[in-house]
Amino acid sequence: MPILSLLIWLPMLGAIAVLFCKEERADLARGLALLVMLISMALCIPLYGNFDSGSAGLQFTEHLVWIPSLKINYDLGVDGIAMPLVILTCFTTLLIILASWTMVHEKVTQYLATFLVMQGMMVGVFCAADSLLFYFFWEGTLIPMYLSIGIWGSQNRSYAAIKFFLYTFFGSALLLIALLYLRSKAGSFLITDFYSIKIALAAQLLIFIGFFLAFAIKVPMFPFHTWLPHAHTEAPAGGSVILAALMLKLGGYGFLRFTLPIVPDACRYLEWVMVALSLIAILYIGLVAIAQVDMKRLIAYSSVAHMGLVTLGCFLPFIIVQKTLNTQGAILGLEGAVVQMIAHAFGSGALFLAFGAIYHQMHTRLIKDFGGVANTMPIFAAFFLLFVMANVGLPGTSGFVGEFLVITSSFQAGFWVTFFAATTLVTGAAYSLWMYRRVFYGEVANENVRQLHDIRGINIVIFTLFAISILLIGIYPDALLNVMHTSAGHIVELSMQSRL
């Protein structure tokens, strides 16, 4: 059974079906979308169960001739790093569809269709084994994201949507040229074929720049992060969740799949630049987050800071291996990066969705408009506390595992790297807990807060699902680590070779 193709195209077909539902019968559309996502989740079970974690190669491969004249093929396959991200994509979309019952009441069918299309595209990005197919889906995700910010966003949505689109569209332009150049060297568009070609350092650096712009803007890394606060703040709850949980992961995934194994010499050449940018993101953006008065902006900046740990974990291996020749430590850092990606998806995604639940009643994002929410919404406050703790990186939650792995491995790269990386523990706790205190504790601040209703029904289900995943990864991370260990080792091995 072509599981991966089903995961890509089933939601797309579902989207078409949903569009045919009348707006008055929104519940039918929601039910249809939910059904599609439940089938997708069911398909993820054999994906996880039949996955052979001892192999670093692509599994569940599919091959179809697509554009023979350009030698582009429809090649799919997942390895230990892509597979968890595929499941994450389905899981997140499922929760967004569930949340649409209470949080979306305007153009519901179009909303559902947008997110179903996005789900298909995202899975496509993670599964593509052909680099042009990867690019096809990579760019394709822009259309539904652009629409979701622009149509269902808040006041300043047009600006945020256009900024998001142009910024990321610009970033991926040179990626396309780099891929075409690699294809002219390798003779095919298969990503694995790119892993064995020799390229001079000057060309490697140019390719690196092409990759870097695309992936660093998506992650986003420090000087390219300015689109993110706008996009996050203006996007609807579902859009923010997708942005935080999945869209940013595309960048990290790109680094792991393309930059590290294809141009390792350029990575070695620029390793300190990348590490420095990651550390700036962790420290500086962490401080910026503390100063935010807007709750959504605060979570957005915390995303940038957390993604700094991901890029740090991606580029640490080069320094570690050079200094200590210890590849195990390098693999640890890389695994930390992937775990951090998934942990951040749960933590930050849950926060954005939770904020959506309260924004739906309050229609304000400013922290000062809240206060004492715990008095009126005790269940919600409890969930929110767990999500905040996951964001801080409390042991037992998913946030801890990734941070711990990256920071531990950074010791081998040097004391100061660890020192700056570890500031995330301080700043993270500062902005998260301070925000939590101001919003949830204290006296009931105003009449609006007094009239808040606690979450019920479907929302409790959604938040419970989030909470379970956070705790599951936090308590038993091996479920994730076992799957990705061989693949992470393979990537480290590829990136330690010289391609000159």
Write out the residues near another protein by the rule CB under 8 A.
Answer: 65-70, 110, 132, 135-137, 139-140, 142-143, 146-147, 150-151, 157-158, 161-162, 165-166, 169-170, 173-174, 176-177, 180-181, 183-184
* Interatomic CA distance for residues 420 and 155, integer angstroms: 37
User: Could you tell me what percentage of the chain is helix, strand and coil, using 3-state DSSP and rounding each to the nearest 5?
Assistant: 80, 5, 15
Angle (CA) 332-500-321 rounded to 5° is: 20
232 contacts: CB under 8 Å, gap ≥ 6: 240, 243, 244, 296, 297, 299, 300, 303, 352
220 cis-preceded (ω within 30 degrees of 0):
yes
Q: Which tokens in the block code for residue 185? A: 């060297």
Among residues 183 and 306, whose Cβ is nearest to another protein? 183
Among residues 180 and 366, whose Cβ is nearest to another protein? 180
- Matching residue, tokens 């869209």: 247
- 62's enclosing H/E stretch is strand 59-67
- Is 378 exposed, middle or buried (CB count within 10 Å of its CB: 0-12, 13-18, 19+)? exposed
- Is 475 exposed, middle or buried (CB count within 10 Å of its CB: 0-12, 13-18, 19+)? middle
Quick one: DSSP state of residue 284? Answer: I
* Interatomic CA distance for residues 258 and 175, integer angstroms: 10
Helices 82-103 and 26-49: crossing angle in degrees, nearest 10, is 160
The torsion angles phi and psi of 74, rounded to 5 degrees, stand at -90, 85
Q: Which tokens in the block code for residue 118? A: 């996005």
- Is 273 exposed, middle or buried (CB count within 10 Å of its CB: 0-12, 13-18, 19+)? exposed
What is the radius of gyration, based on Cα positions, of the chain?
Answer: 21
Quick one: DSSP state of residue 165? Answer: H
CB 232 within 8 A of CB 359: no
